[in-house]
Amino acid sequence: MERAPILKLEHLGVTFPNHPVFSDLNLTIRQGEVWSIIGKNGVGKTTLMRTILHQLRPTHGKITYLPSQKDVTIGYVPQFRNIDADYPLTIKDFVGLNLTGWKLPWLSTKERAKVTKILDQTGLKQLAKRPIGQASGGEKQKAYLAQALVEAPNLLILDESTASLDPVTKTELLDLVAELNQRLNLTVLFVTHDIPMAQKYTQHYLMLTPSGIEQGPIAKLTTEKVWEGENV
């Protein structure tokens, strides 16, 4: 049975003053799919993600969230966060920051349970009381992931979030994302320059290049194709 689409990009284009970033992008992303978004620096990968996140308005075309905009909730994990090493913010508190709203300053029992559950799912339960500023690179990325997932989004964007990690930690994090994808039917957009990781962990690719846009099943993304136009 074909999976239901959750995101449809039609003739999408973003132009900054005198500088078209990308144009005529057509893409359908279905529930539970894992896509890698690749392309060298400056081709518009982050611009595309910011457009999907409603932070930028497309210049052309449109994005449709299906079945409706309120049904598609997005979690975003960036590569870096500007967090002071001395902040008295434990990993548990950091994850709980994402539980906002016009509510009392402290978390309710239900909200605390949500945080505990996601810490458990991301393997951070033992590190819940560690200050986020003192966590290792891999632990921080896991904490960013847990924060993005605490509100149970159905679309997760990993924006070069494994770029600064060593190979073992990178694999650990992506194994975790793959497991969550399977268990929660989470849709994942993985922005990366790491082609072997994209080939191992994703099912589809979208390659942005200065000359155009290419997409397809990840099996068709050969190293030759990537290097042809120095595309990553």
Q: Three-state SS string across 154-188, please?
A: CEEEEECCCCCCCHHHHHHHHHHHHHHHHHHCCEE
Angle, helices 109-121/137-149, rounded to nearest 10 degrees: 130
**Span 100-139, contacts to another protein by CB under 8 A:** 100-103, 105-106, 129, 131
Q: Which is nearer to another protein, 2 or 86 (CB)?
A: 86
CB of 184 to another protein, least distance (A): 20
Nearest in space to 179 (alpha carbons), one of 199, 156, 206: 156
Nearest in space to 216 (alpha carbons), one of 202, 201, 230: 202
**Span 40-99, contacts to another protein by CB under 8 A:** 53-55, 76, 78, 80-84, 86-90, 93-94, 97-99
CB of 69 to another protein, least distance (A): 12
Q: Which is nearer to another protein, 75 or 209 (CB)?
A: 75
H-type helices in the chain, by residue range? Answer: 45-52, 91-96, 109-121, 137-149, 167-184, 195-201, 223-228
CB of 205 to another protein, least distance (A): 24
Asked if 232 contacts 195 with a C-beta cutoff of 8 angstroms, the reply is yes
Q: Among all chains, which residue has been given the structure tokens 């849709």?
A: 187
Return the residue of 147, 161, 192, 209 that touches another protein, per CB under 8 A. Answer: 147
Q: Which is nearer to another protein, 46 or 209 (CB)?
A: 46
Number of residues binding to another protein, judged by CB under 8 A: 29
**Chain positions contacting another protein, by CB under 8 A:** 53-55, 76, 78, 80-84, 86-90, 93-94, 97-103, 105-106, 129, 131, 147
